[in-house]
């Protein structure tokens, strides 16, 4: 059996529109040109449209492409499912809409040899590039980053970019120790601040984290409710801090 170098985890929830833009074709085209071995793990989060069927048809003839169908649990546990199934030395999770193109991994991989365990794409550090982001969304992001620094994590400028590379052993450990974003039913199409909990745990564990500038393009979506989602993410930040203060992160205190 060929050992896998890179596992690519892609969460999916009602992705018909993104699928029809050919985003998976771009992922496939890029990976086929690489010399390293890979697998792609798509995890559907209980979609209510026909995106699971579209994905099944797309991957039918593709080697090392897999689809896992989850009940609706939210993005955190959707990604966690893919992470736990990953067999590669490294695992990348990347958003289905490819707001950060898969090719940007070339900027992250060099940090693996420098003994970083977690390498995150960033839209805020020098050298990054944003496209078409509405001013109010950028302002919301800056405000959230300020709260993250205040309540949870210092030294990271952008926790929320959906493009993160891990040494797989580290990723499996971190995702299995989520508390605020543990496995539970989810009613809304909520993305949340699970990235913050993962990075918070990584810092507590002593893993080295690199923040790397990437190219990111704003993709319009109706899933984000600016007021409701921002409020919930703020309270989740508080829950992460309180969970830590109460010593509920097993083996991390």
53-72 pLDDT tens trace? 999 999 999 989 999 999 99
Domain count, the chain: 1
Domain presence at residue 230: yes
Domain presence at residue 1: no
Domain presence at residue 250: no
Burial zone of 27 (CB within 10 Å; 0-12 exposed, 13-18 middle, 19+ buried)? buried
- For residues 105 and 119, the answer to whether their CB atoms sit within 8 Å is no
Q: What is the spatial distance between Cα 43 and Cα 11, in angstroms, rounded to a whole number?
A: 5
The parent domain of residue 238 ranges over: 6-245
Domain presence at residue 251: no
Kindly report the number of other CB atoms within 10 A of residue 16's CB atom. Answer: 13
Domain presence at residue 252: no
Judge whether residue 162 has pLDDT over 60.
yes
Domain presence at residue 21: yes
Judge whether residue 142 has pLDDT over 90.
no
Domain presence at residue 111: yes
Judge whether residue 226 has pLDDT over 50.
yes
Query: What number of helices (H) and strands (E) belong to the chain?
Result: 9, 9
Q: What is the CATH number of the domain that holds 136?
A: 3.90.550.10
For 169-194, how does the pLDDT look when each residue is reduced to its tens digit (9 = 90+)?
A: 999 999 999 999 997 767 666 667 89
Half-sphere exposure of 190 (CA within 13 A, CB side): 20
pTM of the predicted model over 0.85: yes
Domain presence at residue 84: yes
Residues with Cβ within 8 Å of residue 87, at least 6 apart in sequence: 4, 7, 39, 168
């Amino acid at each position: 059996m060929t050992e896998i170098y890179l596992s690519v985890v892609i969460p999916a929830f009602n992705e018909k529109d993104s699928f029809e833009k050919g985003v998976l074709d771009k992922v496939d085209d890029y990976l086929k040109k690489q010399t390293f071995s890979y697998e792609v793990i798509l995890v559907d989060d209980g979609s209510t449209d026909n995106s699971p069927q579209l994905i099944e048809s797309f991957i039918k003839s593709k080697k090392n492409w897999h689809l896992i169908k989850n009940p609706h649990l939210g993005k955190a546990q959707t990604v966690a499912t893919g992470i736990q199934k990953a067999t590669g030395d490294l695992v990348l999770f990347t958003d289905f809409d490819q707001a950060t193109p898969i090719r940007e991994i070339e900027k992250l991989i060099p940090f693996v040899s420098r003994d970083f365990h977690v390498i995150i794409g960033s839209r805020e550090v020098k050298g990054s590039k944003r496209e078409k982001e509405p001013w109010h969304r950028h302002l919301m992001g800056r405000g959230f980053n300020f709260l993250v620094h205040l309540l949870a994590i210092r030294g990271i400028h952008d926790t929320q970019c959906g493009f993160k590379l891990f040494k797989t052993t580290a990723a499996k450990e971190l995702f299995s120790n989520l508390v605020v974003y543990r496995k539970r039913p989810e009613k809304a199409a909520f993305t949340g601040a699970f990235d913050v909990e993962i990075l918070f745990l990584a810092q507590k564990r002593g893993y080295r984290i690199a923040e790397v500038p990437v190219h990111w393009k704003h993709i319009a979506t109706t899933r984000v409710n600016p007021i409701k989602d921002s409020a919930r993410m703020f309270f989740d930040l508080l829950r992460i801090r309180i969970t830590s203060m109460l010593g509920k992160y097993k083996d991390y205190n």
